[in-house]
């Protein structure tokens, strides 16, 4: 399996072998929540439409596709000289001001992703990217992963767009495969819904997503969606077939400390 150049909470790398069994053939893969791009990197569709509401993420992917050499040069310097808390918070503050070229800001995004705590991507409406320093001894610079991602993006003519999920889904046409991996419904009532960029992704958003997927299915698209197993009980995605897969979940930064959890997979009937 190929890894994304980004660390990402909820990455599908650990379940990709299982997920592939649910992804049907089709003309094009559409992802309204592209996240780290792991599904893109491990599938073989002729073309891709990859969307997310996070403009920094989409800018980064477009720069990997169209400006790789400069991106590697700039981000490589940051990795080489800035693995300390002072530099991290200076770069984070500068990143949030936004007065940089796309390639410079994309290099900063990669640096923050690989140096922040657990590779989280979290924003505040007031302060911007706000994940703290991760204190890693030597963060990995993903040179190989960047080059593989860029090569595949160019070979397939992948399109990366910043837009809301329903706008992305509306672009689907008959024969396309839509894979939706939204923030998961929490397993307990005491849990809060997962943040989606700087906003909440709650029941209303899940209902809106399910409605958009049903419309796309009726238009001839093939639907696959991931969620927590709690989503089955809600009935929100009840118009799709459902199944469970087992996913590895890290519970500690210590090597080898993990647990398993069941995830729901919804597919077209």
Which residue intervals of the chain are DSSP H helices?
Answer: 16-19, 38-41, 55-66, 68-81, 85-97, 102-115, 143-156, 165-170, 203-218, 230-234
pLDDT by residue, tens only, the chain of 269 residues:
999 999 998 899 999 999 999 999 999 999 999 999 999 999 999 999 999 999 999 999 999 999 999 999 999 999 999 999 999 999 999 999 978 999 999 999 999 999 999 989 999 988 899 999 999 999 999 999 999 999 999 999 999 999 999 999 999 999 999 999 999 998 865 455 455 565 688 899 999 999 999 999 999 999 999 999 999 999 999 999 999 998 776 544 444 555 778 899 999 98
pLDDT of residue 260: 78
pLDDT of residue 249: 60
CA atoms 147, 149, 152, 155: torsion sign: negative
CA distances from 170 to 163, 173, 214, 241 (A): 11, 8, 11, 21
Superfamily name and number for 63-144: Adenine-specific Methyltransferase, Domain 2 (1.10.1020.10)
Return all residues near 155 (Cβ < 8 A) that are at least 6 apart.
none
CATH of 13-53+163-267, one of 3.30.2350.10, 3.50.50.60, 3.40.50.150, 3.50.50.100: 3.40.50.150
Per-domain residue ranges of the chain: 13-53+163-267, 63-144
pLDDT of residue 269: 84
Q: Which of 222, 248, 228 is nearest to 27 (CA)?
A: 222
pLDDT of residue 200: 81
As a whole number of angstroms, the distance between CA 35 and CA 11 comes to 7
CA distances from 174 to 13, 28, 198 (A): 28, 10, 33
pLDDT of residue 195: 56
């Amino acid at each position: 399996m190929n890894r994304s150049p980004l660390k990402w909470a909820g990455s599908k790398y650990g379940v990709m072998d299982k997920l592939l069994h649910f992804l049907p053939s089709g003309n094009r893969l559409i992802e309204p929540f592209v996240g780290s791009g792991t599904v893109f990197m491990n599938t073989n569709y002729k073309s891709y439409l990859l969307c997310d509401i996070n403009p920094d993420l989409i800018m980064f992917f477009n720069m990997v596709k169209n400006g790789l050499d400069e991106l590697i040069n700039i981000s490589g310097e940051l990795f080489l000289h800035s693995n300390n808390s002072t530099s991290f918070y200076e770069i984070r503050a500068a990143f949030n001001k936004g007065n940089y070229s796309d390639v410079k800001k994309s290099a900063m995004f990669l640096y923050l992703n690989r140096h922040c705590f657990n590779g989280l991507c979290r924003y505040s409406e007031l302060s911007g990217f706000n994940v703290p320093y991760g204190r890693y001894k030597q963060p990995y610079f993903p040179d190989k992963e960047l080059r593989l991602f860029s090569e595949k993006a160019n070979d397939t003519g992948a399109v990366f767009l910043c837009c809301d999920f329903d706008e992305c889904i509306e672009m689907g046409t008959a024969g396309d495969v839509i894979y939706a991996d939204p923030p998961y419904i929490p397993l307990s009532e005491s849990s809060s819904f997962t943040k989606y960029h700087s906003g909440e992704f709650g029941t209303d958003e899940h209902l809106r997503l399910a409605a958009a997927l049903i419309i796309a299915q009726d238009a001839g698209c093939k639907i696959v969606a991931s969620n927590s197993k709690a989503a089955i009980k809600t009935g929100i995605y009840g118009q799709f077939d459902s199944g469970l897969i087992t996913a590895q979940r890290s519970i500690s930064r210590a090597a080898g400390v993990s647990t398993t959890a069941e995830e729901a997979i919804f597919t077209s009937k």
